[in-house]
Chains A and B, each alone.
Chain A
């Protein structure tokens, strides 16, 4: 067999289960491979048959990766394994589970009954700039002053306005980010804010929340939505595997 198409076991996550069990044809690679558990004691790896090769971080692949984990997370605690982790065979998977049993067990205990909730908040472009003009008198004043002058004479002033608007935008972002964090962080066990990689993005945050507090968290998000909805677009994703808090890296060279 060609090396490039050698078959292996793709690992989605580690979970608390002592039952060999199938979760349906959800496997990565589009072949409809069964996703199933390989158990050691009371922990298991969720795997499917898959070729040993590089997997691109395409939307399609990453959705498949996530769906497999989501299929088990309602009933089990999960530790996401890094995307595109493939081992040779079942024996290798067992070896990993056995060798890392204690660490996996401990992390599973930490993650028990917790879920990840994600929030992105983004300014609505058309509203926020209008808002800034209304709210910041100095910006408005300068704008009105140069509006009557010919453009070639106001290059410097227009640059200045650009800077002022930029500063105002940062100020607005910071205020709302603080409010969001102050509101939601007390409900979370752990909070992680990722870099806002988009000009108008206010926050890109992940919250590790105890499942019993999820309803309250939802409610608070709802309130934030009502409070800022006019100028901020919220993207709220709920009940995710703890991707932002656990990302197991398994080095195959060791086993």
Chain B
């Protein structure tokens, strides 16, 4: 069973190279996106615990990912 939160929360260890600028961007993103990421993890947990169906999960996930995309996009422009 996979844990999305491993990906979302994994620390950056063994960084090959990360420019300062990139780092700043990453940090800002973390703050802005934090809430949505938390919701994603909570959603995943509810699914793992069989509290919601796969269909419900997929619908809600797609909604959250759209919001995440929108945030990323608004930052790029």
The answer to whether the Cβ of A22 comes within 8 Å of any Cβ in the partner chain is no
State the main secondary structure of chain A at its contact with B.
Answer: mixed
Complex alpha-carbon distance, A249 and B43, angstroms: 26
Q: Mark A78-101, 1 if CB is under 8 A from B, else 0.
A: 011011000000000000100010
Contact A247 B8 (CB under 8 A): no
Complex alpha-carbon distance, A197 and B34, angstroms: 11
The answer to whether the Cβ of A150 comes within 8 Å of any Cβ in the partner chain is no
The answer to whether the Cβ of B32 comes within 8 Å of any Cβ in the partner chain is no
Q: For residue A195, which residues in chain B have a CB less than 8 angstroms away from its CB?
A: 9
Complex alpha-carbon distance, A192 and B1, angstroms: 19
The answer to whether the Cβ of A56 comes within 8 Å of any Cβ in the partner chain is yes
Q: For residue B49, which residues in chain A have a CB less than 8 angstroms away from its CB?
A: 122, 233, 235
Contact B7 A243 (CB under 8 A): yes
Contact for B2 among A66, A201, A235, A250, CB less than 8 A: A66
Q: For residue B8, which residues in chain A have a CB less than 8 angstroms away from its CB?
A: 57
Contact A57 B14 (CB under 8 A): no
Q: Mark B38-50, 1 if CB is under 8 A from A, else 0.
A: 1011101100110
Asked if A249 meets B5 with Cβ closer than 8 Å, knowing A58-B61, A59-B57, A243-B10, the reply is no
Asked if A118 meets B3 with Cβ closer than 8 Å, knowing A57-B65, A198-B45, the reply is yes
Complex alpha-carbon distance, A118 and B1, angstroms: 10
Complex alpha-carbon distance, A247 and B26, angstroms: 14
> How many chain A residues have a CB neighbour from B under 8 Å?
43
Q: Mark A195-219, 1 if CB is under 8 A from B, else 0.
A: 1011001001010000000000000
Q: Mark B8-36, 1 if CB is under 8 A from A, else 0.
A: 11111111111100100000000000000
Complex alpha-carbon distance, A104 and B14, angstroms: 8
Residue of B5, B12, B65 ringed by the most chain A CB atoms within 10 A: B5
- Name the residue of chain A whose CB is nearest to the CB of B65: A56
Contact A197 B2 (CB under 8 A): no
Asked if A194 meets B44 with Cβ closer than 8 Å, knowing A100-B16, A122-B49, A251-B16, the reply is no
Sorted nearest first, the 5 A-B pairs with minimum C-beta distance are A243-B6, A247-B10, A251-B17, A66-B2, A194-B9
Q: Using CB atoms and an 8 Å cutoff, list the residues of chain B in contact with chain A.
A: 1-19, 22, 38, 40-42, 44-45, 48-49, 57-58, 61-62, 65, 68-69
Jot down 26 A-B pairs with beta carbons below 8 A, ordered by A.
Answer: A58-B62, A59-B58, A65-B7, A66-B2, A79-B14, A82-B10, A82-B12, A96-B16, A107-B14, A197-B5, A197-B41, A197-B42, A198-B45, A235-B1, A244-B9, A244-B10, A244-B11, A246-B13, A246-B14, A249-B12, A249-B15, A249-B18, A250-B17, A251-B22, A254-B16, A254-B17
Q: Using CB atoms and an 8 Å cutoff, list the residues of chain A in contact with chain B.
A: 54, 56-59, 62-63, 65-66, 79-80, 82-83, 96, 100, 103, 107, 118, 120, 122, 192, 194-195, 197-198, 201, 204, 206, 233, 235, 237, 240, 243-251, 253-254
Given A57-B68, A254-B17: 8 more A-B contacts, CB < 8 Å: A54-B69, A59-B57, A96-B16, A198-B45, A204-B5, A233-B49, A249-B12, A251-B18
